[in-house]
Amino acid sequence: MDRQSEKSTARYYEKEVKSALPIWAAAAVWVIAGLFFPIYNVFHIILVLAVSVLVGFAVSKILPKEYKKIEIPYVTGIDDADRAIELLNDTVEHIENCKKLVTDGETSAKFDVIADYALKIREQLLSHPEDVKHLRRFSNYYLPTTVKLTDKYAELAKKESSNIGEIRKSIENELDTIGNTFRAQYDAMFSDDELDISTDIKVLEAMIEKDNLK
DSSP β-bridge partners for residue 12:
3, 71
96 belongs to a structural domain: yes
d(CA 42, CA 40): 7
**In terms of domains, do 54 and 85 share one?**
no
| DSSP state, residue 140 | I
Full domain range(s) for residue 83 = 74-210
Give the per-residue pLDDT at 3.
36
Residue 205 pLDDT level (bands cut at 50, 70, 90) = low
How many domains, in total, are found in the chain?
2
The DSSP code sequence of 156-192 is HHT---HHHHHHHHHHHHHHHHHHHHHHHHHHHTTSS
Angle at 91 between CA 113 and CA 67, to 5 degrees: 95
pTM (2 d.p.): 0.60
SS3 104: coil
**In terms of domains, do 58 and 124 share one?**
no
Nearest Cα to Cα of residue 141 among 184, 183, 86, 198: 198
**In terms of domains, do 106 and 189 share one?**
yes
Q: Residue 46: enclosing H or E segment and its boundaries?
A: helix 42-62
Give the per-residue pLDDT at 116.
93
Q: At residue 192, does pLDDT exceed 80?
A: no
State pLDDT tens for residues 26-40: 888 888 888 877 777
The DSSP code sequence of 76-103 is -S-HHHHHHHHHHHHHHHHHHHHHTT--
Q: At residue 66, does pLDDT exceed 60?
A: yes
Q: Tell me the residue type at 30.
A: W
**In terms of domains, do 25 and 79 share one?**
no
Contact by Cβ (8 Å): 95, 111: yes
Residue 172 neighbours by CB under 8 Å, 6+ apart? 107, 110, 153
Give the per-residue pLDDT at 204.
62
**In terms of domains, do 152 and 199 share one?**
yes
67 belongs to a structural domain: no
**In terms of domains, do 56 and 112 share one?**
no
**In terms of domains, do 107 and 204 share one?**
yes
**In terms of domains, do 108 and 206 share one?**
yes
